[in-house]
Structure 1
Amino acid sequence: MDKVIYRGYKFKIIPTKEQKEFFLQSFGCARKIYNHYVDELYNQLEKSCYENGLIKRENIKISNYTEFKRNYDYMKNVDAQCLASAKIDFNNAITKFNKEYDKKTYTKKSRNREKTLGIKPTFKDLKGMPSFRSIKKNDFSYRTYNSYYNGKWSNIILENQLLKLPKLKTVVKVKQHRSLPTNSIIKNCTISMDNKGVFYASLCVEYVIDIVPKQINKAKILGLDYSQKDFYVDSEGKKSNYPHYYRKSEEKLKRLQRNLSRKTLKSKNWYKQRQKITTLQKHIANQRMDWIHKESRNIADKYDAVIVEDINLCNMAQCLKLGKNIHDNGFGMFRVFIKYKLEEQGKQFVKVDKWFPSSKLCNCCGTIKEDLQLSDRWYKCECGYENDRDYNAALNIRDCGTRLIA
């Protein structure tokens, strides 16, 4: 069975001085177009006396970016797709606000400002509301799209570690650490710059693979139960022993943030110190991402089916005692990675309902222990069965998922 796959590949690029100027100008133009749309949105919402709730598109008239482009000659020097992508991003931001947010809750920052300064929050402070992009927030990126012309995709080409981009007269050198899939098509490319001035090219690639559904061996079905301490405990009794990268770097991060608080706000030294904090946080995120990719690959190659619990990690993170650990673990990202790696091999990824009492259920007799507390780390049943709480839950998740597969 043929299946179309979309994957992202991110490579470091080494642009020349002229190419850097072109990229920086593109970043600025994309940011200006996006901010223009946000400004128009705010003005129209103010006129309509909007306070909260759904943003109705029929009540908002957004001008075309080509009309705005005529007022600035320098916008003719950048790729037209760069400006079009800014409008697409703005429309996606409104769609995300309407679909994913409750459209009534204000941000924590605005609520604190109301307590300390007495400034009442407005619709601009609603969670998820499209906001202005800023240079100080490191919004340096633009996206361009490939086009099909004369029987081939010719706008964006990556060959021999050289990247051809629209509107750019010369090719860009790429540090290509891995090759793209055979017969793949580059659909779009996002050029970005981090806080240290390093440029990256992120390619969205489309390719077709032949997926053969794999016959599942019951001996190769794995159940995973989320664990605060060990990341997960599987149905074979193994613990992942996740190295808590944030915890290891927490003291160093505290020192850097303490030094930042002593600097004059928005001074040169303040920005230098903030860059050090950003660099360390990015390093921690890269460590976490690398570990999750390797762990998910090992499991996907070894087992025919993986079963996890469909727990809501965002709600769990609201708890003060659990929040920091949940954000450090990245278990939600782990589930996403392991899912696509299994599906590419014709294997199965199953989610058990979040209301399934995996921790309270006895794996031996099936009795549900209603009085089980979160502090009870050892499961004891009236039938005499005793086991580690997380291991018992992993066994129950595996058995429930096996029934769903059958």
Structure 2
Amino acid sequence: MANRAIKYRAYPTTKQSVMFAKTFGCCRKVYNLMLSDKIEGYKATGKFPTVTPAKYKNDYPYLREVDSLALANKQMDLQEAFHNTFSKSRKKKNGFPKFKSAKHSRKSYTTNNQKGTVAIIDNKCIKLPKIGKVKAVIHRVPDDSWTIKSATVSQESDGKYYISVLFEFENTVNPYVADKTNAIGLDYASDGLYVDSNGNTGTNHKYYRESHNKLAKAQRKLSRMQGSKKHEVKSNNYIKQLRKVNKIHRHIANQRLDNLHKMSTEIANQYDVVCVESLNMKAMSNKGFGNGKATLDNGYGMLLSMLEYKLSDRNKYFIKVDKWFPSSQICHCCGMLHPEMKNLAIRKMTCNCGLTISRDQNAAINILKEGLRLLTEVARN
């Protein structure tokens, strides 16, 4: 069996929006109460006690008004947070669980489907427990054989609501046989997102920079509305302006996601083997490289994640080459090593064999060759 989630835009009524807000708040409240009791229990006994949301419903009667499964899922989230903190099997452990903030925490909750409590009605609405039918844009209709497992309701910073529905379906084998000669290599480029082994550039769009002036103007107006006192109650005009700023941020993110989805789908449809470098994008965006804003604006890491699952769905190959592989220093024609190419200011490679080529395209060709070599080794073993 396999799982897949589809995220739908929702348009709740005013009454449903109020119920969503109550559920967000109750989930946050229960999470914080359980975490607090676990900490106090550890101080008293040396062990973390088991706590459930039912423990608090007598003291806080309003918890009974919302979906009980949403509260139960918060208990599961807290258990997972403790497991990730103290698990010995994890190489990189997470920090100790933190209390959720009403201001900074993400507004979302998850409910499970129990005998039709979560359903898509007439491809127009999504049925949810305690909420009823919520109007939604069903842009993608699931297959009849797909079973609904759960639904996650979320509200973004710009005020828009989304419902992500998780489906379970039979994982059938894709009969497509990939052609290993139909391959391409991609090398990251801060200006253009990537350069492929054919010399083509990804995209020159810098969505954050394109909206920078508009965003800065809106943020300056918001700053002038902010009071001098830290805990001063914000006015309605401040909230409206904050919503405008968040809307610009969301628009930039949506532009970037739309572009990355289009490019990744085009590559996944056109090629059977895609070879890339396993880069640490977070490390590359630090101040030492001097191009952090351009790196984060590109979304290259998201592009690789999209390519990985889209190629997997098509029964094709996504090959990651080690980040320490000297792709920019090797001449793809004769194999000669050029240590001077460590200098990023040198944008063209000139080799003794007579080759003159862009450093990015040369790196992409080397990534392609190394990726095909790794693919051949895996096939032999």
Relative to the length of structure 2, the TM-score reads 0.88
From 348, 353, 376, the equivalent of 1:383 is: 353
Do structure 1's residue 82 and structure 2's residue 70 form an aligned pair? yes
Q: How does 1:6-405 map to 2 (within 5 A)?
A: 6-41=3-38, 43=40, 47=43, 59-97=47-85, 99=90, 128-137=95-104, 139-147=106-114, 153-160=115-122, 161-168=124-131, 170-212=132-174, 214-265=176-227, 266=232, 267-268=234-235, 269-320=237-288, 321-372=290-341, 373-405=343-375
Conserved 8 A contact 2:158-2:246: no
Equivalent in the alignment of 1:125: none
The separation in 2 between residues aligned to 1:181 and 1:10, in whole angstroms, is 15
Letter in 2 for 1:131: K
**Uncovered stretches (5+) of structure 1, i.e. residues with no partner:** 49-57, 104-127, 148-152
The letter of the residue matching 1:391 is Q
Alignment partners' CA distance in 2, 1:214 and 1:319: 45
How far apart are 1:16 and its partner, in Å? 3.2
Distance 2:144 2:274 in 1: 28
Give, in angstroms, the shift of residue 62 of structure 1: 4.3
How far apart in 1 are the matches of 2:339 and 2:47?
52
SS in 2 for 1:171: strand
Shift of 1:37: 2.8
Deviations 1:189-239 (A, max 9, x none): 011223444322111122224233644434410110011101000111111
- Displacement after TM superposition at 1:75 (Å): 1.4
After superposition, the C-alpha distances for 1:145-179 in whole angstroms (9 at most, x for unaligned) are: 113xxxxx4221113122222234x3222221221
1:299 CA displacement: 0.6
Quick one: distance in 1 between partners of 2:92 and 2:374? 32
Using a 3 Å threshold, how does the CA distance of structure 1 residues 249 and 93 change in structure 2: closer, same or farther? farther
Any gaps of 5 or more consecutive residues in structure 2? 377-381
User: How many residues align structurally?
Assistant: 363
RMSD over equivalenced CA pairs, Å: 2.3
What is the CA distance between 1:363 and its match in structure 2?
A: 0.3
The whole-number CA distance in structure 1 between the counterparts of 2:40 and 2:356 is: 64
Structure 1 CA distance for aligned equivalents of residues 13 and 245 of structure 2: 28
**CA–CA distance in structure 1, aligned partners of residues 140 and 192 of structure 2:** 31
Check whether the contact 2:84–2:93 (CA below 8 A) recurs between aligned residues. no
In structure 2, what is the Cα distance between the partners aligned to 1:247 and 1:236?
28
1:213–1:347 Cα contact (<8 Å) kept: no
Percent sequence identity is: 37
Residue 305 of structure 2 aligns to which amino acid in structure 1? Answer: V
SS where residue 8 of structure 1 aligns? strand
Structure 1 residue 307: Cα displacement: 0.7
Structure 1: distance between partners of 2:349 and 2:205 = 26
Distance in 2 (CA, whole Å) between partners of 1:310 and 1:260 is: 40
CA distance in 1, matches of 2:264, 2:242: 33
Kept after mapping to 1: 8 A contact 2:108/2:152: yes
Q: How far apart are residue 377 of structure 1 and its match?
A: 0.8
